């Protein structure tokens, strides 16, 4: 379910279609802070560049942690909404934009996972499809689903740490800041998470088709 908000018909929809067809711009941490400042000063192009650069990363992370496309969309939109709101008061040099955003997303995901457990909706039916075209490669899709199923079975903190480290490619100190934990705790979470994933995937080995790959 999408969050209520301004209408996305018309210009934003056309712009979104155009942006989705363009390659994702590579923006450095300093560049993100500078773009946020430009956004706060009323530069519309800065908003487009930030949205183009940040939305895929946040959505991908939320998808992996929540295993649900609709919830991942809500979390991504909410996190970026908070960024737009805080932009005029953002202090350059105090925090990295992406680290701040990942932290917001992590907290929103934790809230949703807790809510799921309290309402007994912990079981996710099936992982959503990955990028269009991938589903045509059935074996890759099966492997994707297998990884997502194994991730879904991990405890929340382990799943978040593993996704941040091994899929989003963040460093342990960055993950520690995002999860509000020590670096040693993060190392322990990722190590235990990887062990649990290896075990879970071992059981699915045949389904993954590794016997054929050698």
Partner 1 sequence: MKMMDNGKTKDTSAEARLDALFDQARATPPAVPVALMARVLADAAALQPAPHAMRTGWRGWFAALGGAPALSGLVSASCLGFWLGFAPPDTLPDVAGEVWGVNVYVEDDSMDGVELMAFGWDIEEG
Contact pattern for partner 1 over residues 1 through 30, marking x by CB under 8 A? -xx-xxxx---xx-xxx-xx----------
The CA–CA distances, whole Å, from 84 to 48, 54, 192 equal 12, 12, 36
Q: Which of 27, 32, 39, 97 binds partner 1 (CB under 8 A)?
A: 39
Are 179 and 161 within 8 A, CB to CB? yes
**Residue closer to partner 1 (CB basis): 8 or 180:** 8
Distance separating alpha carbons of residues 45 and 27, to the nearest angstrom: 14
Extract the tokens encoding 84. 């737009």
Closest CA to 147 of 69, 70, 211, 207: 207
Q: Is residue 59 near partner 1 by the rule CB under 8 A?
A: yes
Q: Based on the number of CB atoms within 10 Å of its own CB, is 3 exposed (0-12), middle (13-18) or buried (19 or more)? A: exposed
Distance separating alpha carbons of residues 64 and 162, to the nearest angstrom: 10
Binding to partner 1, residues 73-92 (CB under 8 A): 73, 76-77, 80-81, 84-85, 87-88
**Residue closer to partner 1 (CB basis): 180 or 202:** 202
Q: Is residue 194 near partner 1 by the rule CB under 8 A?
A: yes
Q: Is residue 128 near partner 1 by the rule CB under 8 A?
A: yes
**Residue closer to partner 1 (CB basis): 73 or 174:** 73
The torsion angle over the Cα atoms of residues 161, 189, 65 and 61, rounded to 10 degrees, is: 10
Task: Give min distance, CB of 15 to partner 1, in A.
Answer: 6
Extract the tokens encoding 116. 């799921």
Q: Is residue 56 near partner 1 by the rule CB under 8 A?
A: yes
Closest CA to 65 of 25, 102, 26: 102
Q: Is residue 124 near partner 1 by the rule CB under 8 A?
A: no
Q: Which stretch binds partner 1 (CB under 8 A): 25-33, 96-104, 105-113, 138-146?
A: 138-146
Alpha carbon 156 to its chain centroid, in Å, reads 14
Binding site for partner 1 (CB under 8 A): 2-3, 5-8, 12-13, 15-17, 19-20, 39-44, 47-48, 50-51, 55-56, 59-60, 63-64, 69, 72-73, 76-77, 80-81, 84-85, 87-88, 128, 130-132, 134, 140, 143-144, 146-147, 166-167, 169, 194, 197-198, 201-202, 205, 208, 210
């Amino acid at each position: 379910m999408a969050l209520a908000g301004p209408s996305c018909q018309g210009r934003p929809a056309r712009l979104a279609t155009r942006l989705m067809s363009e390659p994702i711009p590579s923006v450095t941490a300093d560049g993100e802070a500078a773009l946020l400042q430009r956004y706060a000063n009323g530069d519309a192009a800065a908003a487009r560049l930030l949205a183009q650069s940040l939305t895929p990363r946040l959505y991908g992370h939320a998808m992996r942690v929540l295993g649900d496309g609709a919830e991942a969309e809500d979390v991504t939109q909410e996190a970026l909404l908070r960024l737009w709101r805080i932009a005029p008061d953002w202090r350059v040099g105090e925090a990295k934009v992406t680290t701040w955003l990942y932290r917001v997303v992590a907290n929103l995901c934790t809230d949703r996972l807790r809510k799921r457990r309290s309402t007994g909706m912990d079981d996710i039916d099936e992982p959503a499809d990955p990028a269009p075209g991938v589903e045509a490669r059935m074996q890759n899709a099966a492997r994707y689903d297998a990884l997502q199923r194994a991730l879904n079975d991990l405890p929340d903190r382990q799943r978040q740490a593993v996704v941040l480290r091994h899929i989003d490619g963040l460093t342990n100190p960055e993950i520690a800041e995002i999860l509000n934990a020590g670096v040693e705790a993060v190392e322990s979470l990722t190590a235990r998470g990887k062990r649990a994933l290896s075990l879970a995937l071992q059981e699915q080995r045949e389904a993954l088709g590794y016997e054929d790959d050698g």
